[in-house]
């Protein structure tokens, strides 16, 4: 990677402000390639497949579906087979023994005459939808973390590029100063000063490369693959912009956020549970049929028998158990409603903060671009003055330090802006916040 990101950031700033940017005197240096290029989209797809939080959320969805299947199964018939071998001993006078072998089939079928079982099924179905929305919310969080970690890699790579340019410029300054010292033009202290600056630049380069390695390991960890996997990140072609205001985006976010939808479904599930608890004193009906066959029956004994039973059970008094269960279930509903209101308010705050961060990041980016422009021109003029014999090496050294600081500031401002945009994407639950504000667009991918 080179410091091409500087040109891109400056061009973005110019497009917004109409300013003209001076040519940076730092010569681009190609960074060493450490592995295949990993795009942002590829990183997100790997994270969605491997991330532990998503795998856990998917397991919760499967588990809730299993619970739903259990609830549905309670409405269906159940068949069981039974067999027995009874050996009877009669003691005392005229003792005897007998052996009875039986086999049978039993069929049980509940009849949901009061709808209690059906309410449980509907509650379990709403729980599945809640788990599915929670899984989407988890995916959105993982995608945000992936994007933020990816931008940290690009930030670290940009800082490495700046550090490499600084080493090149500092080395050139030392070489020039040593030549002038040999010619008797400058004092040895000027050479020592530039040599110290070169040593600092080399140390900064080592630290920057270490930071890049750590950033890559962190991204690998976030997307759930071995941290030693080598790759290079791809610089985004453009910087995204958002034109919608915070209030419009907040309305879209409240309507789209899966966390809110998950709580809505959870509240529905609890409402069905409450209705099921209200039927605690209602009657229940069950149909059953039994077929029993005697194997090798004694003479004069029937070899088979069939029974059909209709049983009705109607609890009359339960010492207030049903009333207490209903009250507890209603409190569960109330707590779910409170949680939903709290999350909705939190989403509103999150959107407003994300919009504010994006606006501030954009302002910082524009200022950073202007600072690079000014620092580059100051460095150029310092070199011109030195070559004309009117300046000093100290002025060039100071100007180079200021330029490096400005370039580092621009790199941080650029990726802070991109991270702020990713946070807004997550807050609105859409890759295109403006499209979401108009009721269009898809979710985060």
Residue 165 predicted with pLDDT over 50: yes
Q: What does each C-alpha distance from 22 to 16, 161, 393 come to in angstroms?
A: 16, 19, 22
Whether residue 401 lies inside any domain: the answer is yes
Give pLDDT, residue 237: 86
Residue with more model confidence, 11 or 359 = 359
Assess whether pLDDT exceeds 80 at residue 293.
yes
Is 445 contained in some domain?
no
Judge whether 240 and 425 are in contact, CB under 8 Å. no
Q: Which residues make beta-bridge pairs with 298?
A: none
Q: Residue 172: inside a domain, yes or no?
A: yes
Residue 177: which pLDDT band, with cuts at 50, 70 and 90?
confident
Q: What angle do CA 426, 431, 436 make, to 5 degrees?
A: 90
pTM metric for this prediction: 0.81
Q: Is 237 exposed, middle or buried (0-12, 13-18, 19+ CB in 10 A)?
A: exposed
Q: What is the pLDDT of residue 368?
A: 96
pLDDT greater than 70 at residue 17: no
pLDDT at residue 178, as a whole number: 85
What's phi and psi for 316, nearest 5 deg? -100, -40
Q: What DSSP assignment string belongs to 50-97?
A: H-HHHHHHHHHHHHHHHHHHHHHHTTS-EEEEEEEEEEEEE-STT-EE
Phi and psi angles of residue 420, each rounded to the nearest 5 degrees, phi first = -65, -35
Predicted local distance difference test score (pLDDT) of residue 32: 47
CA angle in degrees (0–180, nearest 5) for 151-409-194: 120
Structure tokens belonging to residue 195: 């040599």
- More confident position, 337 or 189: 337
Distance, in Å, from the CA atom of 189 to the CA atom of 291, rounded to the nearest integer, reads 110
**pLDDT digits over 193-247, tens only?**
889 999 999 999 999 999 999 999 999 999 999 999 999 999 998 899 999 999 9
pLDDT band at 28 (very low <50, low <70, confident <90, very high): very low
Strands (E), 149-251: 232-233
Domain CATH for 163: 1.20.1600.10
Alpha carbon distance 420, 316 (integer Å): 62
For the residues 163-168, what does the mean pLDDT come to? 94
pLDDT in tens, 313-350: 999 998 999 999 999 999 999 999 999 999 999 999 99
**260 domain-assigned:** yes
Q: Are strands 37-38 and 232-233 parallel, antiparallel or unpaired?
A: parallel
> Is 424 part of any domain?
yes
Q: Look up the domain containing 418 and give its range.
A: 4-79+100-437
Alpha-carbon span 140 to 123, nearest angstrom: 26
* Residue pair 187/28 in contact by the 8 Å Cβ criterion: no
Is 201 inside any structural domain?
Answer: yes
Dihedral sign of CA atoms 366, 368, 374, 380 in order? negative
Model confidence at 122, pLDDT cuts 50, 70, 90, reads very high
Residue 364 lies in a domain: yes
pLDDT(3) > 50? no
**Closest to 359 measured CA to CA, from 406, 410, 421:** 421
Q: Which of 49, 68, 438 is nearest to 255 (CA)?
A: 438
User: Is 243 a member of any domain?
Assistant: yes
* Beta carbons of 151 and 418 less than 8 angstroms apart: yes
Report whether 444 contacts 425 (CB < 8 A).
yes
Q: Is the pLDDT confidence value at 175 over 50?
A: yes
In the chain, the number of structural domains is 1
Cα dihedral 221, 223, 227, 228, rounded to 10, equals -160
C-beta of residue 356 within 8 angstroms of C-beta of residue 420: no
Q: Which residue has the higher pLDDT, 397 or 133?
A: 133
Per-residue pLDDT for 15 more than 80?
A: no
């Amino acid at each position: 990677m080179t410091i091409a990101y500087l040109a891109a950031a400056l061009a973005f700033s110019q497009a917004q402000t109409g300013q003209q940017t001076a040519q940076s005197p730092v010569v681009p240096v190609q960074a060493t390639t450490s592995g295949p290029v990993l795009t942002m989209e590829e990183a997100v797809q790997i994270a969605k497949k491997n991330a532990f939080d998503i795998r856990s959320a998917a397991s919760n969805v499967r588990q809730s579906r299993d619970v739903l299947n259990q609830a549905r199964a309670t409405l269906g018939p159940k068949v069981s087979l039974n067999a027995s071998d009874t050996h009877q001993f009669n003691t005392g006078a005229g003792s005897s023994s007998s052996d009875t072998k039986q086999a049978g089939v039993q069929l049980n079928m509940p009849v949901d005459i009061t709808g209690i079982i059906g309410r449980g099924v509907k509650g379990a179905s709403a729980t599945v939808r809640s788990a599915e929305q929670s899984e989407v919310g988890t995916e959105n969080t993982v995608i945000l973390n992936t994007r933020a970690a990816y931008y940290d890699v690009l930030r670290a790579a940009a800082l490495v590029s700046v550090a490499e340019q600084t080493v090149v410029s500092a080395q050139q300054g030392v070489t020039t100063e040593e030549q002038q010292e040999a010619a008797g033009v400058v004092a040895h202290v000027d050479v020592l000063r530039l040599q110290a600056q070169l040593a600092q630049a080399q140390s900064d380069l080592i630290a920057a490369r270490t930071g890049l390695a750590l950033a890559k390991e962190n991204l690998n960890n976030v997307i759930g693959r071995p941290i030693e996997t080598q790759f290079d990140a791809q610089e985004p072609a453009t910087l995204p912009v958002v034109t919608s205001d915070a209030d419009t985006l907040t309305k879209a976010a409240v309507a789209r956020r899966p966390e809110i939808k998950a709580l809505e479904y959870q509240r529905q599930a609890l409402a069905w549970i409450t209705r099921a608890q209200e039927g605690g004193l209602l009657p229940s009906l069950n149909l059953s049929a039994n077929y029993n066959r005697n194997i090798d029956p004694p003479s004069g004994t029937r070899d088979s028998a069939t029974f059909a039973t209709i049983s009705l059970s109607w609890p009359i008094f339960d010492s207030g158990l049903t009333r207490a269960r209903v009250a507890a279930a209603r409190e569960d509903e109330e707590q779910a409603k409170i949680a939903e209101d709290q999350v909705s308010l939190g989403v509103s705050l999150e959107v407003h903060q994300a919009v504010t961060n994006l606006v501030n990041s954009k302002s910082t980016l524009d200022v950073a671009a202007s600072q690079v422009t000014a620092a580059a021109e100051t460095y150029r003029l310092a070199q011109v003055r030195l070559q004309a014999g009117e300046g000093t090496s100290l002025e060039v050294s100071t100007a180079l330090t200021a330029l490096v600081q400005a370039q580092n500031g621009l790199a941080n401002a650029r990726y802070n802006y991109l991270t702020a945009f990713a946070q807004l994407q997550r807050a609105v639950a859409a890759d295109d916040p403006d499209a979401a504000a108009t009721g269009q667009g898809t979710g985060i991918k």
